[in-house]
Amino acid sequence: MQIWPGRPYPLGATFDGTGTNFALFSEVAERVELCLLDADGSETRVDLPEVDAFVWHGYVPALQPGQRYGFRVHGPYEPSEGHRCNPAKLLLDPYAKAIDGQVDGDPSLFSYRFGAEGERNDDDSAGHTMTSVVVNPFFDWGHDRPPRHEYHDSVIYEAHVRGLTQLHPAVPEELRGTYSAIGHPAIIEHLTSLGVTAVELMPVHQFVIDPGLVDQGLSNYWGYNTIGFFAPHNGYAAFPEAGQQVQEFKSMVKALHEAGIEVILDVVYNHTAEGNHLGPTLGFRGIDNANYYRLVDDDPTHYFDTTGTGNSLLMRSPHVLQLIMDSLRYWVQEMHVDGFRFDLAATLARQFHEVDRLSAFFDIVQQDPVISQVKLIAEPWDLGDGGYQVGGFPPLWSEWNGKYRDTVRDFWRGEPSTLGEFASRLSGSSDLYEHTGRRPIASVNFITAHDGFTLADLVSYNEKHNEANGEGNRDGESHNRSWNCGVEGATSDRKVLALRARQQRNFLTTLMLSQGVPMISHGDELGRTQQGNNNVYCQDSPLSWVDWDLDPQRSSLLDFTRMLVRLRREHPVLRRRRFFAGAAEHGGESELRDIAWLTPAGEHMEESAWHADQARAVSVFLNGEAIAEPDPRGEEIIDDSFLVLFNAQAHPMSFTLPPEGYGPTWTVLVNTGARSGLGAPVEAGASFEVAARSVVLLTRPPVAETLSAEGEGPVAKASANARTARRRRA
């Protein structure tokens, strides 16, 4: 076979229209073979002829997209020194744009003999492992443009490619569970009618399905087992032949963009699917183990693991940093995605042992002209010491706010002494983010996510029920902050069912009225259940899929969610870009009066009231005439004002509406505890009964022009103060 010297960059396989350039980094390699595989499994090997700065490269003229390939790396096999090269193992290209097949668990995949860990295994892994595929990079994007929704306007929808679409009756059966299904008009219509602005797809980078799970009739459903940081997972492709999953993924993104929906990817850059020292050799381990993985300092046979998966990538290696940044740029520039959610992001901050928010990775992201301009969301924890870092990420980043989730759950299940923190979370968590110069958009607020109970299960189960996972119900989180409303699991008790429905409405209402960026877990708007399983990582089955067969109660919940999202979209006071001036811890107020916290008696909350054990009721005034921030055109923002009455008590509460200075008449807009009375007027100072465990939202139009700024009305004063603040900024 003819092979030319080629070029050392870009890394990976690059088709230029007449041939393909191959480039692979390995500092430890002594020789690298490019292996080209035919459809019948036959293999042609040719040495990469050049090496520059530890990048081995060559160019094969006339080699076309669709070609399957791999590498064999010759070099030291010395596990005690951190080296695990073995040319008997066919290796994936770390930069492969598409990957074919799956691993089958054959012993040849491992570098040691089973039962004799110290004995090297030279069995050939070809035929039992995955292969890289040369792809055609050309695609007709037409007039595709990123929607670029502002963070404060965003509503994120966390979704699983298969789970969201596998049972949808309007999606053709042959497309269900694929990228094509996500881009299907039926799915897009659901997303647009719901009002979400972005889908956050659970891992779509190529991942390994553990043969051990397959043997048990299970699967690596969630996909947090990445092996290809550039390749769309082939299991989600309706047309996976010859690398066509790349084209299919791009078509999905294009369709979502046309509907105004952004695509955010849940990415796993903290570890790979090769696991610990007993794992298979699939790519990185056999290419340059010590450069890709963090090894134990005084025992490089073993891996330093802060992820709970067996290994962690070496974040102080420039080659690992290059790999991650090249991958991120590829997905933005070539695949047109709009942002990323980083799994176990605290691991990315570990250059050494401790978490350092100023580590090299964050420095590189900060200065990158491409990645710094897309949405960056951290899961701000890992399993290592000091790994819980909510509020600890740099200003460019938003975070999954785990404290929001925990506090809101505790408040609505009736835990004592939660009212003060509940107020902080509702108003944007300034106590976590403001000290670093961040704004409410730093907080991605969520009640549920893929990991844990669904919303319906959160109000239906006190305990996890994970028996289907085959681990004796030992897996998954045991402290769920859930409440079953009096009966564990399924019931026909109408009172219990009504309470559960009300609690779901309470959670959704709280989420949509909170400052920050709301995130909905797929199917929560439909009352999706996992039958109490809070860890469906291995359940690729109806247990984890969204059920689209809706009864009247689930249809009602969907309509209610749509209404809440629309309400948030229409009112800027519910999605402010800046913190309340009075959003100090425990709901403090300011001269601006942009927010006020009131007791059920209509009086201002005193400090002692926030700490009372049984304080589970409060009202909050959101002043739409004191937003004190201009819109993008620099024009003054004036909105309706809102009064929210929260009652987490187990009995009804009588709330006294604030005096006329806050507005003469209010209108009931939302009542999670009653279907009647919506649209009814309520006069200032009147009493209003709020049902047990429910929320009432009242609204009124701007009234500042009818109240004298010299009078007693706090609204009028706030409006004048807000205009002064805006003039000062101008």
What are the pLDDT digits (tens) for 306-342? Answer: 899 999 999 999 999 999 999 999 999 999 999 999 9
Asked whether residue 235 carries a pLDDT value surpassing 60, the answer given is yes
- pLDDT band of residue 1 (cuts 50, 70, 90) is confident
Asked whether residue 581 carries a pLDDT value surpassing 90, the answer given is no
Sequence-separated (6 or more) residues with CB below 8 Å from residue 192: 259, 260, 261
Sequence-separated (6 or more) residues with CB below 8 Å from residue 420: 585, 586, 587, 610, 611
- Mean pLDDT, to the nearest integer, of 80-88? 97
Q: Which residues are catalytic?
A: 343, 379
| Angle value at C-alpha 97, between 144 and 343, nearest 5 degrees | 85
Asked whether residue 166 carries a pLDDT value surpassing 70, the answer given is yes
Cα gap 522→454, rounded to integer Å: 9
Q: HEC profile for 265-321?
A: EEECCCCCCCCCCCCCCCCHHHHHHHHHECEECCEEEEECCCCCCCCCECCCCHHHH
What was the pLDDT predicted at 302?
97
Cα gap 385→353, rounded to integer Å: 8
- pLDDT band of residue 506 (cuts 50, 70, 90) is very high
pLDDT in tens, 369-402: 999 999 999 999 887 888 888 988 988 999 999 9
Asked whether residue 358 carries a pLDDT value surpassing 80, the answer given is no
Asked whether residue 529 carries a pLDDT value surpassing 50, the answer given is yes
Cα gap 82→415, rounded to integer Å: 50
pLDDT in tens, 16-50: 999 999 999 999 999 999 999 998 989 999 999 99
Asked whether residue 115 carries a pLDDT value surpassing 90, the answer given is no
Asked whether residue 727 carries a pLDDT value surpassing 70, the answer given is no
- Mean pLDDT, to the nearest integer, of 264-272? 97
What was the pLDDT predicted at 386?
82
pLDDT in tens, 450-465: 999 999 999 999 999 9
Asked whether residue 172 carries a pLDDT value surpassing 80, the answer given is yes
What was the pLDDT predicted at 589?
55
- Mean pLDDT, to the nearest integer, of 268-278? 96
Adjacent-strand bridge partners of 71: 34, 91
Asked whether residue 582 carries a pLDDT value surpassing 70, the answer given is no
Cβ pair 530, 457 in contact under 8 A: yes
- Mean pLDDT, to the nearest integer, of 123-149? 97
pLDDT in tens, 664-689: 999 999 999 998 889 999 999 999 99
Cα gap 574→578, rounded to integer Å: 11
**Buried/exposed 113-138: b ≥16 CB within 10 Å, e otherwise:** eeeeeeeebebebbebbbbbbbbbee
Using the structure block, give the residue that is written with the tokens 């390749």.
231
What was the pLDDT predicted at 496?
98
Cα gap 701→684, rounded to integer Å: 14
> Cα(first)–Cα(last) distance of the chain, in Å?
68
What was the pLDDT predicted at 347?
86
What was the pLDDT predicted at 241?
82
Cβ pair 459, 448 in contact under 8 A: no
Percent of the chain with pLDDT over 70: 93
- Mean pLDDT, to the nearest integer, of 515-524? 98
Of 20 and 627, more confident: 20
Of 642 and 387, more confident: 642
What was the pLDDT predicted at 726?
46
What was the pLDDT predicted at 729?
43
- pLDDT band of residue 417 (cuts 50, 70, 90) is confident
Identify the CA nearest to 728 among candidates 628, 655, 635, 631. Answer: 628
Sequence-separated (6 or more) residues with CB below 8 Å from residue 118: 112
What was the pLDDT predicted at 159?
98
Average pLDDT, the chain: 93
- Mean pLDDT, to the nearest integer, of 478-495? 97
Looking at 238-242, 523-527, 549-553, 620-624, which range is the least confident one?
Answer: 238-242
Cα gap 509→528, rounded to integer Å: 17
What was the pLDDT predicted at 703?
74
Inter-CA distances, 313 with 274, 303, 324, Å: 11, 10, 10
The pairing of strands 50-52 and 55-61 is antiparallel
- Mean pLDDT, to the nearest integer, of 212-217? 93
Looking at 500-504, 600-604, 642-646, 696-700, which range is the least confident one?
Answer: 600-604
